[in-house]
Structure 1
Amino acid sequence: MMIKKIVAVVAGILLTSVAVGLVQQLGHYLYPLPSGTDPNEPEAIKKYVENAPFMAIFFVIISYAVGALVGGFVSTKIANDGKKIYALIIGILFLFTSIYMMVTIPSPIWFWILGIAVWSLVLLGWKLALNKKNEH
């Protein structure tokens, strides 16, 4: 069913976005921007990233990892046909989004490496969804 496949990708995208957003909110809570920093001002964010504590930046990578797992898992469960294409679509979409963000906000090389590699975790989400399916 084509509709089920579309719903799988759309739900995966939405839940990936929610997961990334929630983890990043936690990061902002634990590592708030310095007072007076406007989060909508690109120059202020660039300056912050240059001097931010490691974990403040690493929370973004954690958010990507959680999002990738959620997206791969949810899309696979909804599609329910065992194919990894849904997870891959989500991973590629968010990979390009992450690259765009890294170009927009200058990031250290370690962030680039992890920020690209972490989206492969959609395949772990896919695999976990398959394993859960086989337990029943």
Structure 2
Amino acid sequence: MYPILRKILAIVIGWLAGSAVNMGLVQLGHTMYPVEGLDPNDLEAMAEIMPTLSSEHFIFPFLAHAMGTLVGATIAGLIAQQNKMRFAMIVGVLFLLGGIMINYMIPGPTWFTIADLLIAYIPMAYLGGTIAKKLSKKSV
């Protein structure tokens, strides 16, 4: 496979896999902690209701962001032949940009925004890159 194609695929597949994990956990959270009369796909309604939600409603969004980033970064690192950490971190930055955007569009409590942006993205991408490096060494 052409090296540049593999690099592009590492980022795209990592991002897509992480996004699937993210969406799955968000949907699971809406199932486990439903808000009566709220359509989770209505961003305006979500933005209005956010200040009234208890902390339990923020467990799954945080897990979705953290686990989506971790899975995506790990997969990107595993696909990349070299510079595994770099590709894991690229995926982490993509997810961080998405996290900044969603926290702007649907502002949650300050504590959640801080925890989400500081813990769920770059540290998880670093952990994913570390896992990819270790798994790659075992398979050689």
TM-score normalised according to structure 1 size:
0.91
2:79 alignment partner AA: I
CA shift for structure 1 position 82: 4.1
Gaps of 5+ in 1: none
Q: CA RMSD in A?
A: 1.4
The residue that corresponds to 2:30 in the other structure is 28
2:135 alignment partner AA: K
Aligned counterparts of 1:8 and 1:43: Cα–Cα separation in 2:
34
Aligned counterparts of 1:64 and 1:124: Cα–Cα separation in 2:
14
After superposing on structure 2, the runs of 4+ consecutive aligned residues of structure 1 that deviate more than 4 Å are none
1:55 equivalent in alignment to 2:28: no
CA shift for structure 1 position 7: 0.5
Aligned-partner SS, 2:34: coil
Aligned counterparts of 2:18 and 2:43: Cα–Cα separation in 1:
24
82-91 or 61-70, which deviates more? 82-91
CA contact (8 A) 1:49 1:57 kept: no
Identity %: 33
CA contact (8 A) 1:84 1:123 kept: yes
2:20 alignment partner AA: V
List aligned pairs for 1:119-130, cutoff 5 A.
119-120=121-122, 121-130=124-133
Aligned-partner SS, 2:14: helix
Aligned counterparts of 1:40 and 1:74: Cα–Cα separation in 2:
28
CA contact (8 A) 1:33 1:48 kept: no
1:100 alignment partner AA: M
CA shift for structure 1 position 31: 0.7
Aligned counterparts of 1:43 and 1:52: Cα–Cα separation in 2:
15
Aligned counterparts of 1:135 and 1:14: Cα–Cα separation in 2:
25
